[in-house]
Chain A
Amino acid sequence: MASSQKRISKELAEVTTNPPEGIHVSLVDESNVHNWNIVMDGPEGSPYAGGKFKLLLVLPNDYPFKPPKINFKTRIWHPNVTFDEHGSMCIGILKPEAWKPSSKILSVLTATQQLLVEPVPDDAVETSAAEKFKNNRAQFNKEAQEYTKKYAK
């Protein structure tokens, strides 16, 4: 527990002093390093460009032995994110069978960013988005842009 806080603080310092482009990190509550607010710019070249997406990153007490949990608080229409109030994201790096303690929060965040650029339709949780992404990319981009305008401004 103590070691987990130490590592988290270290990672937080790393991310805040040298933040990756388009990602802003703050603590939900300054006294608790386990809950992070993330604001992620929609990456250029994706239909989410121009949007600002809020995410909540929760680090379990036994981090890094358990993966962080990350959810979109801003609604996003994306094959790998549930289009509901939970905004649950399906991303490989956080899957229990793929998680390893040497993965850092920073890599989770950049992986999330990359997921916005490159959805993984075969691992979809939002099937309608995945089908459009696979079969009708233009329509997918259009709808994703519309939802971005609607929710992520």
Chain B
Amino acid sequence: MADNPTLEGTYGRGDNGHLDASGPREVVYCHQCDNEWWRDGESLTCPRCQHEFTEIVTPDNDPRPIREEPPPHPLHNHNPWAGSDSDPEDADIEEHVTHGPGGSIFFTQTIRTSRPHGTSGNQGRRDAASQGDPDNVMAGFQNMLGSLMGPDFRAGQAGRSGPETLYPQNTFGGGGIRIGGDSGPRITGGRFTFTTGPLRPRNADEPQPADGARVDDLATYDSLPSRTSPMGLPPLVIILRNPPDQVARIVGSIFGAMAPSDEHRPRNNNPNRMPPGLEALFASILNAGSAHSGDAVYSQEALDQIISTLMEQHPTSNAPGPASPAAIAALPKKKLDEKMLGPEGKGECSVCMDDVEIGDEMALLPCSHWFHEACAGAWLSEHNTCPICRKGIEGDSTSPNVRRSSQTGSPAHSDPQPRSASVSSPRLSPTNTSNSSGRNEARLDAIRNIGRPTPAEEYQANRRLHVVGQPRQDQTADESRTGGYSTSIFSRPRDRDDRYESQRDTRGASHTSSSDDSRGSRRSSQSGGQGTGTGPLAWLRDRFGGNPRRHD
């Protein structure tokens, strides 16, 4: 029969762009590739993709997607203000159902208690062809809210200055939606219900429940789950009950936060994206302080709870960031001695809990806690804290920034004889500078340091940083010496390095971590102070001025 072109003409593509399945020829549809073809006695394998996931199409059972225009929107011809009110004394009840993306259903019920002020006839009418467009779904949604809100509602109440018309005329086929104009009735009570699942919303035109009570309160929906839903699934019902001005405020702020929908905005870059503002809208709905308590209704408190749960499920969200690889690599290594292990000469690495002995080489943190190099590195590469006392290894004395800021940020350091100056006036020592440098600054610095001249040089610099850092740890005990070290290091000729290193070695073991702990917390509260202020300037000077660090 395939060779009969007349049949093709008679039973060809129908109005909907599909092959006509009601004719004598069997139409087969492939679910895999959406292909359809006349079967004509052939096998059911799809000729295009060779899959067998196919189905014979009958008029009663047509699995093919609708290609052409979707059915008109439920509000297609809806015109809430076109007719005259049958009974001005009685509240008008309106219920709108809108099918949103992803099978969700928007349901609104509106009660009007006063007459319209006179409207033009075509408000609310939309182009049915635009229904598939997420933007238009959103626009329709706004329209619903607009009619819900009445004249009190003005988009952008949250301070947005822009056109009153959220969607320009050409967004809709006919008649732009003007939210908050003079037309439209005033609404004394507004509710908004968002439902998912196979909920079949009550329709005002359908027979009312047996008690005959007028549906003037969505409280009736609180009992909805008891109504048999077609698929036996419990519906999710979220109900907001607010005075209109409050609703207007909430929704106004939502839409105020939306990007203006003007012609400059590229439309539909990604049709699958959620319409702008919808996400925020849902968030705000769930967020509303006056939301009902109940099975599926969340108060602010409940929302907080959810958010904190979510935060906990993202383990590294608020934990300290990693230490820079350079700083980790630059940690001094030290062989364990009796002082570090105590009288028994035994100990364990607090990370892997393996026993260690005198003579084992360990990585020594600025807080004097020691670990296997691998153990310390594994933790520090995720969090810049000591595994025991949580003190950072950089962001303080070990931060390159501090060195720079102490070098250029304080007048004391321009002194040609910094060491003697500091010793004679310890208060000028850059203690504040070093303490005030925050972790962020240190991390910024790590980024800045990328692309510095040579790794070897960088390493050398970092090593010297540690040299600086060490004496500073016990500055409470020995402040004047500390000040001297931290300032003098920069003008120190290279040949002093060795002597300096040996000094550090003899001093390193005597540090106690307890005093460091308290200082660590103090430091963190000071972060973002002076160090941050001088950081960028110092950095610029460092980059574009002479870099004293290169005088190796």
A binding-site residues for B, Cβ under 8 Å: 3, 6-7, 10-11, 64-67, 88, 90, 95-97, 99-102, 125, 127
Contacts and interface: CB of A to CB of B under 8 A. Distances in A.
Identify whether the interface residues of A are mostly helix, strand, loop, or mixed: loop
B316 to A, nearest CB: 6
Interface in B305-332: 305, 308-309, 312, 315-320
Nearest to A11: B353
A127 B302 CA distance: 9
Contacts of A10: 353
A97 B388 contact: no
B317 A96 contact: yes
Interface string B484-521: 00000000000000000000000000000000000000
A2 B150 CA distance: 67
B89 to A, nearest CB: 45
Given A96-B318, A96-B319, A125-B308, A6 B351 contact: no
Nearest to B388: A102
Given A95-B312, A125-B305, A102 B352 contact: no
Residues of B in contact with A, size category: 20 to 34
Identify whether the interface residues of B are mostly helix, strand, loop, or mixed: loop
A100 B390 contact: yes
B180 interface: no
- Across the A-B interface, the 8 shortest Cβ-Cβ residue pairs: A102-B350, A101-B387, A96-B319, A96-B315, A97-B319, A102-B388, A101-B351, A7-B353
Contacts of A65: 378-379, 382
A147 B228 CA distance: 34
Nearest to A9: B353
Interface in B334-373: 350-354
Interface string B372-408: 0001001100100111101000000000000000000
A65 to B, nearest CB: 6
A63 to B, nearest CB: 10
B552 interface: no
A100 B387 contact: yes
Contact of A127 (B301, B309, B319): B301
Contacts of A101: 350-351, 375, 379, 387
Given A3-B352, A64-B351, A66-B315, A127 B379 contact: no
Nearest to B317: A96
A34 to B, nearest CB: 16
Given A6-B352, A11-B353, A101-B387, A88 B315 contact: no
Nearest to B386: A100
Contacts of B316: 96
15 contacts: A3-B354, A3-B375, A7-B352, A10-B353, A96-B318, A97-B319, A99-B319, A100-B385, A100-B388, A101-B350, A101-B379, A102-B350, A102-B387, A125-B308, A125-B309
